[in-house]
Amino acid sequence: MPVATLSPLDVHQQTSLTIVEQLRHAHYLAKDRRLNDQLSSRIFEKYLAMLDGGKAYFTQEDVAALEKYRYELDDALRHGKLEPAFDIFNNFQSRLVNRLEFLLAELNRGLESLDFEAHEALAIDREHAPWPANDAGLDVYWRKRLKAAVLSMVLNGKELEEIQTLLTKRYKNRLRQAKQTKSEDAFQLYVNAFASTYDPHTQYFSPRTSRNFNINMSLSLEGIGAVLRSEDEYTSVVELVPAGPADKSGRLSPSDRIISVGQGAGPLIDVVGWPLDDVVELIRGPKGTEVRLEIIPKGAEGGTSRVIAITRNRVQLEEQAAQKKVLTFDHGGETQKIGVIEIPTFYVDFKAVQQGDPNAKSTTRDVRRLISELKSEDVDGLVIDLRNNGGGSLTEAETLTGLFIKSGPTVLVKSADRRRAIYSDNDNKSAWDGPLAVMVNRLSASASEIFAGAIQDYERGIIIGSQTFGKGTVQTLIPLNRGQLKVTAGKFYRVSGQSTQHQGIIPDIEFPEVYDVERIGESSLDGAMQWDKIDPTTYPRSRQIRPLLAELQARHDERSADDPDFRYLRALALRSKENNGRTHLSLNEAERRKEKADDDAWRLQVENTLRSAKGQPALESIEALDDEARDTDEDPNKDAMLRETGTILLDYMSLSSQVATAKLSGTTLSTVAVN
């Protein structure tokens, strides 16, 4: 069956005109995004990148032929004409089918002729590579890509006959899917290329995608609790829903890639090249059933895959609720207790609030109650743990801040019309006025950054961890006749006037970065809005933390230098950075086996060094390591970063006490800091 030539439907014209109009009026950057030749060129580049970001299908000749549309897309959009966009899409579809047929022909010739002793390599990231000059250049690239796919399976223990069968099935499925592509698919892709020229969070959802989005937002369908996206031909994990099945399992991480999905004990179905919606539907299923995922772990470019099993469940609001625990320390010869409140997300039961329920569940209400309980347990200090908290209700971030200050502004919001709104806490009381620390990491975003930024600006507490995600924009959903439009309609700012956009929150005391900052965070998104600042508002600062930060940092550095857990974390961070710097994948079997053996030996050595320091027996093999993956959620004492945060807070309490005593006796701060 030949690939069909797609044409826009009548409804697409009206929908595109509506989207153009909505973006002109509702988007924060509307005044900076005039529909002109300059924007047309950007749309053209974005569209090609979304179709063929890896420079794997189009040739230089193809792109040269499509250049006629570079400065026509603005006029076409203004009049609802989608023919240029569909012509580009049809050209891509033709190229996609051509490449899949090429791969099937290569497979049909057999795999025995592949030379895994040759010293060849495949470029991992081709975003900035030139387009292949012609079909011959594409053939060279795709032979290498096929060889890489075969070699990865060989390294996973598969025989050539099995590999040939599996890859033939994979590419036939992709060919079938390509030939079943509908006009709606082309329309959504093009409109999102246009929308993304505003910013990466502005997005059009077709009716089908809109249904999936609403399901994810309401958590009303059972699944594994993971946010996924398509990257090249893979389905990649973006983030895990706090307290969801995947999060609780500890087996799936952001940047992992899913290559196969199986139901229970059934066979694994290869999903490489599948549309994202189809992969999502395969992963979803009834509560209590098991789904098996074959994944390529983050950083393992071309490396061995592994299969994990996750039991599907529905994420309940109660499971995402704030929780408390108490850590006990021997500090300065005294036994002291630090309360910890972990907040997975900023939640609120909107339905209960709308019904006027005075006990409606929310982050602020729950944290206030937990603080009261911790006070009754006589804790000396409090840690708010926002690690992996991707945000949620902006209002909850604002009201939560009010639990730790008596009164004052909490966040500034600037709308598309550039009006500035100041949100404030005005009740003149706080739930906790004692020593405070806030933990953050790269996955702390949006509402988490509002709260952490306010606490830092007020110098109300110490911010500890790693640089946060950097999402400082506000989105709104606009219903359309067909689907929905998610539009960035504002930016929020700290009370100091600084945006959290792009830059995030820089902790006062930084821990080793364990996430890939090149792939995770606002700064990794193409076209992300930049950091800026506005006039600050008036707010009271305690001015009690910054003078002590140098001494707190010195004490932390001294402790962590020889701490086994922090040595382990630094080793992982360095290894991850080295792996992320790789630009090519070897296609030589001996080299790849040596790479894997070296990597396995390194992992085992680092893990056993940590185990030895803790008095645990050494593991004999990498298989034993995979079977006994460390789970820091079992016991709060195992979480090295959390315990070090508690120790830093105790150091702060001790130094603050010395400063207070020094002021009474006339001693200088510098004298206190070195004692």
Residue that the structure tokens 């830059």 belong to: 503
Q: How far apart are CA 486 and CA 657, in angstroms?
A: 50
> Residue 434 in contact with residue 428, Cβ under 8 Å?
no
CA distances from 668 to 524, 550, 658 (A): 45, 15, 10
Give the DSSP per-residue string, 40-99.
Answer: HHHHHHHHHHHHHTTS-S--HHHHHHHGGGTTTHHHHHHTT--HHHHHHHHHHHHHHHHH
Q: With contact defined as beta carbons under 8 Å apart, do 382 and 432 qualify?
A: yes
| Residue 482, phi then psi, degrees to nearest 5 | -125, 100
Q: Strand 290-296 to strand 408-415: parallel, antiparallel, or no bridges (unpaired)?
A: unpaired
The torsion angles phi and psi of 113, rounded to 5 degrees, stand at -80, -10
Instruction: Name the β-bridge partners of 346.
Output: 392
- Assess whether 210 carries a catalytic annotation: no
CB 268 within 8 Å of CB 306:
no
**Residue 82 CB coordination number (10 Å):** 24
Contact 443, 247 (CB under 8 A): no
Strand order in the sheet with 436-440: 323-331, 334-342, 381-385, 436-440, 462-465, 509-510
Count of alpha carbons within 13 angstroms of residue 390, beta-carbon side: 14
Q: Specify the residue for token string 């490489």.
A: 272
The DSSP secondary structure of 2-54, one letter per residue, reads: PPPPP---HHHHHHHHHHHHHHHHHSTTGGG--SSHHHHHHHHHHHHHHHHTT
Count of CB atoms within 10 A of residue 39's CB? 19
Question: What are the tokens at 211?
Answer: 């249904």
Q: How many whole angstroms separate alpha carbon 185 and alpha carbon 206?
A: 9
Amino acid at 23: L
Identify the active-site residue in 206, 305, 446, 448.
446
Max CA distance (Å), the chain:
90
Distance between CA atoms of residues 98 and 514, nearest Å: 41
Sequence-distant (6+) residues with CB within 8 A of 219 are 241, 314, 315
Asked if 446 is an active-site residue, the reply is yes
**What is the C-alpha end-to-end distance of the chain, expressed in Å?**
81
CB neighbours (10 Å) of residue 557? 11
Closest alpha carbon to 643 in 568, 563, 577: 563
Q: DSSP E strands: which ranges in 208-352?
A: 226-231, 234-240, 257-263, 268-270, 290-296, 306-311, 323-331, 334-342
One of 457, 508, 516, 639 is an active-site residue; which one? 457
Contact 464, 648 (CB under 8 A): yes
- From the list 46, 414, 471, 491, the catalytic residue is 471
Concatenating the DSSP letter of every residue in 157-217 gives T--HHHHHHHHHHHHHHHHHHHHT--HHHHHHHHHHHHHTTT-TT-EEE-HHHHHHHHHHH
Measured CA to CA, the distance from residue 405 to residue 389 in angstroms comes to 22
Residues catalogued as catalytic: 446, 457, 471
